[in-house]
Amino acid sequence: MPDEDTTEPRAPHGPLPTGGTPRPITRWGTPVMHRAQAPVTSYDDALATLAADMVATMYAADGVGLAACQVGEDVAMFVFDCPDDEGVRTVGVVCNPVLTLPEGKDRHLDSDDEGCLSFPGSFEPCARPDWARVDGTGLDGEPVSFEGDGLLARCLQHETDHTLGTVFGDRLSAKSRKKLTRKHDAAAEDYPLTWPAS
């Protein structure tokens, strides 16, 4: 997801990994983007390196979240640095995410603009619950849990979707997806296939 900002972030499970190298972002239409990702089973140096590269790529692209499939890797993991409704940023890494959303009278939809770094340059309203929680594991294999409202809720849902092979365009009407595609196509020259690595 593309970026908002500010202030010192909350890091309930530790800071994001550093020292990574930005990679080109994988686009919608690439097979890895449209299938459920392989569960993380080995919490090793390769996983830590991938996470660090994902963080570097997310920041280079001015994003608030990035899933492993978005750098072409078939791994159920995402990283994020995203503000909630109060503007408080939370950062984290989640492997094998499991999403919990409100139900019944507690479920309220927020239809706000949403975008995707794998379909850059375009945004369209997408209705999602206004609160979400994700449980999973961190890079050390220990349990992690993140929850929040506002853009953070949207981000947690958007990135978990990626690990399941769903892009947010799949959640739009045909008319809205056409509008999204027109905006994307109009901005395409600003986002070469090497972006944001180049």
Nearest to 90 by CA among 25, 24, 154, 166: 154
Catalytic residue status for 159 = yes
Q: Is 108 annotated as a binding residue?
A: no
Q: Which of 8, 103, 159, 189 is catalytic?
A: 159
Six token digits for residue 118: 């794998």
d(CA 14, CA 117): 25
Residues 6+ apart with CB under 8 A from 53: 20, 21, 22, 23, 71
Give me the phi and psi of 82, to 5 degrees please: -145, 140
Q: Is 158 annotated as a binding residue?
A: yes
d(CA 16, CA 91): 7
Contact 158, 171 (CB under 8 A): no
Per the listing, tokens 């999602």 go with 128
Residues 6+ apart with CB under 8 A from 148: 84, 85, 90, 131, 132, 156
2: β partners:
63
Binding residues, as ranges, are 116, 158, 162
Binding residues for Fe cation, as ranges, are 116, 158, 162
Please give the positions annotated as active site. Answer: 159
